[in-house]
Amino acid sequence: MLSGHCGDLMWDEAMVGGAGPVTVGEWQPPAELNTGVPHPARMYDYYLGGKDNFPADREAAEKVIAAMPDARLGARINREFLGRAVEFAVGQGVRQFLDIGTGIPAVGSTGEVAHRVAPDARVVYVDNDPIVLTHARALLAHHLAGHTSVLHADLRDPEAILGDPGLKEALDLSRPVALMLVAVLHFVRDEEGAAETVARLRDALAPGSLLILSHGTQDFMTAQAAAETTRIYSRASSPLVLRAKEQVREFFGDFELADPGLVQLPLWQPRAELPQGWQGAAPAYAGVAIKR
């Protein structure tokens, strides 16, 4: 049995089904976790001030921060967009969330926001990083049983996601779902089928469903910062693919973009005054679109 303590969460394999007690022990990373290679989930966790990262993640993240000094603010701005978009979806009557590329659940995660405003919401988390799954499952055992499921799957294999019994059990695809691809598609290359994957997922959704998406772009970066950031991620487990506005827009297919359309990330329905330095901190597009 795997058990241990990572960051601020205790976990135990028996907890996965919500069954067993929490066991505290000397934490050993799960065998499938390659801690020597930086991973986007753990780098993102570092930007957000989390503790679930390893020296290789921190080293790569610090290099990104050297190229883009506001990277930490950018991660926070992205999480805030996610929260606003989840609340928007609830306001549209959506109660089902398929969050692919979940990241390490932390403050402001999809489930936290959704359940605050709609306690009956159902959330399916999908990620390909074992550490994300460990944390998500530990949370599931503690607070979220019955409302949240966690799938270990890869965005590049949409058939596996859609065919997963866990997804079928948790979500009713004949009713509206908010498909969340927040800060994840830029880890999928064109030649890995990025466009086809998103089209397959869009097709599986019922009318009234939403696509919530944010995506890194070179459009708001200097050429030097874009080249440096891309170079650092090329040594991580997933390379970074920055895309221009029109390429990002194509991911929405024939879904209808909600106001204000596809915009630089902090400008999507902002609630408060934008933080100083947001222009450079958030080199990403964001949009939410509805399937009619």
For residues 122 and 126, give the distance between their C-alpha atoms in angstroms, rounded to a whole number: 13
**DSSP-assigned beta bridge partners for residue 122:** 96
Looking up tokens 């080199």, which residue turns up?
283
Looking at beta carbons only, is 6 or 254 nearer to ligand SAM? 6
Helices 40-47, 130-139: inter-axial angle, 10-degree rounding: 60
Give the dihedral sign, CA 131/142/172/269. Answer: negative
User: Residues 15, 38, 44, 281: which binds ligand SAM (CB under 6 A)?
Assistant: 44
For residues 162 and 145, give the distance between their C-alpha atoms in angstroms, rounded to a whole number: 21
Looking at beta carbons only, is 4 or 40 nearer to ligand SAM? 40
Q: Which residue is nearest to ligand SAM (CB)?
A: 103
Give me the least distance between CB of 141 and ligand SAM, in Å please.
20
Nearest to 261 by CA among 289, 225, 292, 226: 289
**DSSP-assigned beta bridge partners for residue 213:** 181, 287
For residues 204 and 177, give the distance between their C-alpha atoms in angstroms, rounded to a whole number: 10
Looking up tokens 């290099």, which residue turns up?
63
Give me the least distance between CB of 125 and ligand SAM, in Å please.
9
Task: Tell me the one-letter amino acid at 113.
Answer: V
Give me the least distance between CB of 65 and ligand SAM, in Å please.
15
Residue 137 burial class via C-beta count within 10 angstroms: exposed 0-12, middle 13-18, buried 19 and up: buried
Looking at beta carbons only, is 100 or 139 nearer to ligand SAM? 100
200 counts as binding ligand SAM under rule CB under 6 A: no
User: Within 10 Å of residue 121's Cβ, how many Cβ atoms?
Assistant: 22
41 counts as binding ligand SAM under rule CB under 6 A: yes
Tokens of 105: 């659940």
User: Residues 68, 98, 184, 248: which binds ligand SAM (CB under 6 A)?
Assistant: 184
Span from 10-18, 100-108, 143-151, 245-253 in contact with ligand SAM (CB under 6 A): 100-108
Looking at beta carbons only, is 3 or 109 nearer to ligand SAM? 109
284 counts as binding ligand SAM under rule CB under 6 A: no
Give me the least distance between CB of 277 and ligand SAM, in Å please.
20
Enumerate residues 6+ apart whose C-beta is below 8 A from 13. 1, 2, 3, 20
Give me the least distance between CB of 103 and ligand SAM, in Å please.
3
**With contact defined as beta carbons under 8 Å apart, do 24 and 8 qualify?**
no
Span from 61-69, 178-186, 253-261, 264-272 in contact with ligand SAM (CB under 6 A): 178-186
Give me the least distance between CB of 23 and ligand SAM, in Å please.
25
* Helical segments of 92-189, H only: 110-117, 130-139, 158-163, 165-170
Span from 150-158, 201-209, 216-224, 244-252 in contact with ligand SAM (CB under 6 A): 150-158
User: Residues 79, 95, 202, 249: which binds ligand SAM (CB under 6 A)?
Assistant: 79
Binding residues among 118-147 for ligand SAM as defined by CB under 6 A: 127-129, 132
User: Residues 238, 248, 285, 286: which binds ligand SAM (CB under 6 A)?
Assistant: 238
Q: Which residues bind ligand SAM (CB under 6 A)?
A: 40-41, 44, 78-79, 82, 100-103, 127-129, 132, 154-156, 182-184, 187-188, 238
